[in-house]
Chain A
Amino acid sequence: MTRPSDEMLIAYADGELDEAAASEVEAAIADAPELGAQLRRLVTAGVLAERAFAAPAAEPIPDNIAQFVLSAPAGDRPRRPAARPRARPRSAGRAWPMALAACFALLAGLGLGRWTGTAESPAVAGLSLQPAASPAIADALDRMPSYAVAEVPAGSLTVLDSFDDAAGRFCRIYTVDDGTAALEAIACHEADRPAADRWRVVTALPLVADDTDGVFRLAGGTASLVDAALAALGAGPPLDPAAVSDRQAALGR
């Protein structure tokens, strides 16, 4: 009889084995006491991990979170028909051949033939090929704290982490999701440009909708491109909320 692996021992302890497999593990343990010791070590590790993080499950939900869940407005209107931008942002008409070529090369290189959005999707085309963030997004990036959600003409905007890059620019990672297609992008603020052009989109990657929960995620493998973009920018550590407010307060000057 082969020695059961740690995977099998744990699956046995977790009650995940069928009767035949469980009997085999039991027989192996009966033959080799050190297996029993290993089983106990692995079980102990699990029990301790469970206890180490048990506290929140037994506590009431903090009032602010409970209130939020019960009363914050839900973004639950059907979005498909409404997702088209009502008006094209003025800067969208501008030609940016370099960025456009770079973006196509990026997408082609990824072989992203099956991502949910298509080049015809206005939100995606408008966003990914446009190095200056649209006015609504720029406005949101100017004002919103990290991890907040806002509605913009192109869809639902979620700001993720913010950081300073090596050039000292205030940069923010965000996603835009119009219900049918979504993007994750990084934009950096350049104060010396005209007001409408200050948020420069340095990376934009399509997100793939997951059929099971409708949540958009980076396609397999593309998360490393975001990492690579962050490394290329020389991204500093994520800014805490106070630092984000400071940066935002400085933008207007």
Chain B
Amino acid sequence: MTDETDATEDDLREEMLAVLPRVRRFAYALTASRVEGDDLVQAVCERALARLHQFRPGSRMDSWLFRITQTTWVERHRAERLRRPAAELSEVQDIPGVDGRTVVEARLTLERVRRIVAGLPEDQRSVLGLVTIDGRSYREAAESLGIPVGTVMSRLARARRRIAEALGEEGNLSARPADGA
């Protein structure tokens, strides 16, 4: 298998591997599940390798992989959303403590956030995943998703407002600022 690979291809594979932790995080944000997220990442890798010849050297590997991730997820999600109600997410695992303080409360809050994000429309989740979670610029996210920057902004606002409101409704958001403070 390795006899026909050349240096360029190996470089591309290394490059893929280097951005894969971020792809994995993006997949986690899209699926709201570690298991499904990794399953998605595996599918993305298969697809990316099958189309490695379509990758233009010098262009951004992360954008390319994010884009394949988003497309693959939408395809997989399409059949799912017909029948499957919003998944019950009960995974609470491997969440790093926040500031080493009130770790249990932080875990519960983050678990709530994951549930809220899982309930967002898929177009909002993609934008949230790229901009808020991965830190891409609006412009990069717009290019990745093939939508105008204005749409990135409005989806982002809807998503973040929804998260803020949902946490507010559920009460006890310790991080919620006191009004007027």
A interface residue numbers (CB < 8 A to B): 5-7, 10-11, 14, 16, 33-34, 37, 40-42, 44-59, 61-62, 64-66, 68-79, 147-149, 156, 158, 160-161, 163, 173, 184, 210, 212-215, 217, 223, 226-227, 230-231, 235-238
Distance of A11 Cα from B98 Cα, bound (Å):
25
Q: Is B54's CB under 8 angstroms from A10's CB? A: no
Other A-B pairs beyond A46-B163, A62-B38, A79-B53, 10, CB < 8 Å: A6-B160, A7-B154, A37-B180, A45-B167, A51-B113, A53-B25, A56-B37, A68-B46, A149-B50, A237-B79
Q: Which of B1, B20, B176, B180 contacts A69 (CB 8 A)?
A: B20
Contact across chains for B47 and A61 when beta carbons are under 8 A apart: no
* Smallest CB separation, B127 vs chain A (Å): 11
Chain A: which residue is nearest B37 at the CB level? A56
B39-82 near A? 1/0 per residue, CB < 8 Å: 10111011101111111000000011001100100111011101
User: B5 contacts which chain A residues (CB < 8 A)?
Assistant: 74
List A contacts of B179 (CB < 8 A). Answer: 34, 37
Query: Are B79 and A161 closer than 8 Å at their CB atoms?
Result: yes
User: How distant is the Cα of A230 from the Cα of B117 in the complex, in angstroms?
Assistant: 26
B51 contacts A214, C-beta separation under 8 Å: yes
Q: Is B104 an interface residue (CB 8 A)?
A: no
Question: Would you give 9 A-B contacts (Cβ < 8 Å), ordered by A?
Answer: A48-B163, A49-B133, A52-B117, A54-B133, A55-B95, A57-B25, A61-B21, A69-B17, A149-B46
> Number of contact residues on B: which range applies?
35 or more
**Distance in angstroms between the alpha carbons of A52 and B143 in the assembled complex:** 25
> In the complex, what's the smallest C-beta–C-beta distance from B106 to chain A, in angstroms?
8
Nearest B residue to A241 by beta-carbon distance?
B39
Q: Is B46 within 8 A of A148, CB to CB? A: yes
B137: chain A residues at CB < 8 Å are 16
Contact of A56 among B28, B42, B98, B128 (CB under 8 A): B28
Q: A70 to B156, Cβ gap below 8 A?
A: no
The minimal Cβ–Cβ distance linking B148 to chain A, given in whole angstroms, is 13
Q: Are A42 and B160 within 8 A (Cβ)?
A: yes
Question: Given the complex, which residues of B lie within 8 Å of A238, measured CB to CB?
Answer: 76, 79-80, 84
Contacts A42-B161, A46-B132 given: A33-B177 contact, CB under 8 Å?
no
Which of B43, B75, B179 has the most chain A CB atoms inside 10 A of its CB? B75
A55–B82 Cα distance when bound, in Å, is 30
| Cβ–Cβ contact A66 & B164, under 8 A | no
Closest CB-CB distance, B124 to chain A, in whole Å?
A: 11
CB contacts under 8 Å to A, within B101-115, are: 109-111, 113-114
